[in-house]
Amino acid sequence: MPLIPLKPVLDAARAHGYAQGAFNVNAVCQAKAAIEVHEMFRSPAILQGADLANAFMGGRADFANGTIEDKIRGAANIGAAVRRFAEASPVPVVLHLDHGHDLKSVIAAIDGGYTSVMIDGSALPFEENKELTREVVRYAHARGVSVEGELGVLAGVEDDVSSLTSTYTDPLAAVEFIRDTKVDALAISYGTMHGPAKGKDVKLRREIPTAIRECLLHAGIECALVSHGSSTVPAHLVEEINRLGGSVAGAHGIPVAELTAAIPAGISKINVDTDIRLAVTRNLRELFRSRPELMRSASVGAVGELIEQQPAQVDPRAFLPPIYPTVMRGEVPDEDVAAVVAAIEAGVKEAVGSLVVTFGSVGRAPLVERAGLAEMAERYEAAGL
């Protein structure tokens, strides 16, 4: 079926009391694996491409310095792949831009086939954040595309999103922000953190989403609440990476019990990236350790060399530029590349599958209304959104 916007997926999650995982992908094979595991569990699927991930998918290995041209190419690459997989899938699939920072990046994503976008103005003063977010909402809703905003600042590092400290979301400010911008979803700060080093025994301030939800109900406003920086960072993955020659220290995630307790408090979308990075990195290290002849492979040997040279690295994007045609277009020219792709896909399925179960979206695909972009654009216009 065609890709759908985010709003119908989150409407179902809110109505039925579960959370929808949203999983970041950085290669065609990762997108394929993520959709396949959602199909296995009959779950709706939200695939996310971060703003800089679009630059990486556009062929920019140093994606932190990606240009708008890189992002345009990358959005088209991942958009075409996800659209192709979604059309053959029985479950609803959303392609969502994670941490877009300006209207140009949002337009690049939408033109490339994204059906939902996040605009992150959280580092701006409140009124400027509202102004930027409202500008994106006007552009996106006219095309049937859902919009997620952000209010409050998460500590930690993810791509070019970085802060040393957190600023918790003010529930009353959140209601004003949602009312004035007309966003479909709002990412809030309530104790989660970006990156793999979240600290031990994190306790989430569930009273924040609870208060926002109650205030929204009182005001008669609908909006889904989103938990960013929510990777669980499984300890066994870190331990296995280190046994396989890695050197990962200080990696701790959000306890699973804290995340599941946040769902009845009002969280409907939970973003996960690091768990996938860890599972894929472990699998790649394991592959080259178990098959040392791949280090001499003309097609993937350079991937193994990059893994060996960066023991502390857990972001697979640092290892994959030698097989860029595979990353960007899904090309698998030989058995060695096929082995690398299989390792990547298995890592994605391991990380994503466990969280689909944890967050409660198993079997929920039939609950989601299959509303396309044109229909959603008409609804947004009729509602003055």
* Closest listed residue to residue 15, CA positions, set 378, 257, 361: 361
Determine the Cα–Cα distance for residues 19 and 140; give it in Å rounded to an integer. Answer: 24
For residue 22, the cross-strand partners are: 46, 271
Determine the Cα–Cα distance for residues 83 and 72; give it in Å rounded to an integer. Answer: 16
CB neighbours of residue 205 within 10 Å: 18
Contact 174, 34 (CB under 8 A): no
The H or E element that residue 5 is part of is none
pLDDT tens digits along 127-142 = 999 999 999 999 999 9
pLDDT tens digits along 308-345 = 999 999 999 999 999 999 999 999 999 999 999 999 99
Would residue 51 show up in a list of annotated catalytic residues for this protein? Answer: no
pLDDT tens digits along 227-268 = 998 899 999 999 999 999 999 998 888 999 999 999 999 999
DSSP per-residue string spanning 259-278: HHHHTTTTEEEEEE-HHHHH
First-residue to last-residue Cα distance in the chain:
26
Res. 211: pLDDT tops 60? yes
- Of 11, 51, 98, 336, which one is the catalytic site residue? 98
* Closest listed residue to residue 314, CA positions, set 210, 367, 242, 217: 242
pLDDT tens digits along 43-95 = 999 999 999 999 999 999 999 999 999 999 999 999 999 999 999 999 999 99
